[in-house]
């Protein structure tokens, strides 16, 4: 059994390290962060925080080095999905099932352009890079996966992958319909990520500060209305996820805030942009999501020093 992790930033590295430590499958990590890849090859992949261990695994920045894999797990930023899956597609054949554990919606459609069997997924564990080859594990959480409907992926493949990851120490729940779980995470992210990025507040601080806490709730309400219009039953309450994150130890910064501090393009198009797009299609007004989407795009534009 061979599994390729595509994108070994914080979340991808957590999956790669846990799976490699368990040893049920041969793990290959692919990432364009060459210093990270080199550190993993030389010293292993260290995880610290919510878990503390070092795992040995294969790592490369050269897609030609990847073997044919039974499963793929795509954990890149959503903005990099198209390029990443095109680069590694040679490692996946008609018997491979590839699972997205990325933020937002729309990634599975892109993956399906290159892969026959696609698995829809959403994950809540969070972390951050400490140094090349070293990832901080900030927040534990569950992952939900299910067949991506258009590709008719067999449920048996979903269950096998869920079992492999769960036995490695990261709990995964296999669902026949994972849209509700994915939209729950989408709505949570679309509320918390841009607000944190625009205010520079870590998650707990933004939750506890009354004006931003209210904005979280109002953004969530818009997302819930769109999900209802699409006939999607949410897998839990996004507000409970906000509180869970706020009660976690430490000062976890949302991934979008981490991107803003590094002046990198964010995933806002796949979060608030997606809610606005689906709101337009279903006739549901989403003025707050549209406002934070446009503000985030303006902030990204400012980094290019517009004239």
C-alpha to C-alpha distance for 248 and 8, rounded to whole angstroms: 23
Backbone phi, then psi, for 163, in 5-degree steps? -65, -45
pLDDT, the chain, mean: 95
Strand partners, 129: 135
The CB density around residue 246, as the number of other CB atoms within 10 Å, is 18
> 145 near 81, Cβ under 8 Å?
no
Q: Where are the domains of the chain?
A: 2-174, 179-300
pLDDT tier, 253 (very low <50, low <70, confident <90, very high otherwise): confident
142's enclosing H/E stretch is: none
Longest dimension (CA), the chain: 55
C-alpha to C-alpha distance for 146 and 202, rounded to whole angstroms: 31
The pLDDT, as a whole number, for residue 149 is: 93
pLDDT tens digit sequence for 121-140: 999 898 899 999 999 998 88
125's enclosing H/E stretch is: none
The pLDDT, as a whole number, for residue 307 is: 64
Alpha helix positions (H), 23-64: 34-43
pLDDT tens digit sequence for 216-228: 999 999 999 999 9
- Give the CATH number of domain 179-300; options: 3.40.50.720, 1.10.540.10, 1.20.1250.20, 1.10.1040.10: 1.10.1040.10
C-alpha to C-alpha distance for 281 and 106, rounded to whole angstroms: 15
C-alpha to C-alpha distance for 214 and 193, rounded to whole angstroms: 14
Task: Tell the residue number behind the tokens 């610290």, with chain if given.
Answer: 48
> 66 near 31, Cβ under 8 Å?
no
> How many helices, marked H, and strands, marked E, lie in the chain?
12, 12
Q: Which comes out higher in pLDDT, residue 5 or 124?
A: 5
pLDDT tens digit sequence for 138-174: 888 899 999 999 999 999 999 999 999 999 999 999 9
C-alpha to C-alpha distance for 51 and 47, rounded to whole angstroms: 6
Superfamily of domain 2-174: NAD(P)-binding Rossmann-like Domain (3.40.50.720)
The pLDDT, as a whole number, for residue 99 is: 98
129's enclosing H/E stretch is: strand 126-131
pLDDT tens digit sequence for 56-89: 999 999 999 999 999 999 999 999 999 999 999 9
pLDDT tens digit sequence for 172-212: 999 999 999 999 999 999 999 999 999 999 989 999 999 99
User: What distance lies between CA 55 and its chain's CA centroid?
Assistant: 21
Whether 284 has a pLDDT exceeding 80, the answer reads yes
Non-local (6+) Cβ contacts of 262 within 8 A are: none
Backbone phi, then psi, for 53, in 5-degree steps? -165, 170
Q: What is the pTM of this model?
A: 0.89
C-alpha to C-alpha distance for 276 and 214, rounded to whole angstroms: 20
Alpha helix positions (H), the chain: 10-22, 34-43, 81-88, 107-111, 155-167, 179-199, 203-208, 210-229, 238-247, 255-261, 272-282, 287-302
C-alpha to C-alpha distance for 145 and 131, rounded to whole angstroms: 30
The pLDDT, as a whole number, for residue 17 is: 98
């Amino acid at each position: 059994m061979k599994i390729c992790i595509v994108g070994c930033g914080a979340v991808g590295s957590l999956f790669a390290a846990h799976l490699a430590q368990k040893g049920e499958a041969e793990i290959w990590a692919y990432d364009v962060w060459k210093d990270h890849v080199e550190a993993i090859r030389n010293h292993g992949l260290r995880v610290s925080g919510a878990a503390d261990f070092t795992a040995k695994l294969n790592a490369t920045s050269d897609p030609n080095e990847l073997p044919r894999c039974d499963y793929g797990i795509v954990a890149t930023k959503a903005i990099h999905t198209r390029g990443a899956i095109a680069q590694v597609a040679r490692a996946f054949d008609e018997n491979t099932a590839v699972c997205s554990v990325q933020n937002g919606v729309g990634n599975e459609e892109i993956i399906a352009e290159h892969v026959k069997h696609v698995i829809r997924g959403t994950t809540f564990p969070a972390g951050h890079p400490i140094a090349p080859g070293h990832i901080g594990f900030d927040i534990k959480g569950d992952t939900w996966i299910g067949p991506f409907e258009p590709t008719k992926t067999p449920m048996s493949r979903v269950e096998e992958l869920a079992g492999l990851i769960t036995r490695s120490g990261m709990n995964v729940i296999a669902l026949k319909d994972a849209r509700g779980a994915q939209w729950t995470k989408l709505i949570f992210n679309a509320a918390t990520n841009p607000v944190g990025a625009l205010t520079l507040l870590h998650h707990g601080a933004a939750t506890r500060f009354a004006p931003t806490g209210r904005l979280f709730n109002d953004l969530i309400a818009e997302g819930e209305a769109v999900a209802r219009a699409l006939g999607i039953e949410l897998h839990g309450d996004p507000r409970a996820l906000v509180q869970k994150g706020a009660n976690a130890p430490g000062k976890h910064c949302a991934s979008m805030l981490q991107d803003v501090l590094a002046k990198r393009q964010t995933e806002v198009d796949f979060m608030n942009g997606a809610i606005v797009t689906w709101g337009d299609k279903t006739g549901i007004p989403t003025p707050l999501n549209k406002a934070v989407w446009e503000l985030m795009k303006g902030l990204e534009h400012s980094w290019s020093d517009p004239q």
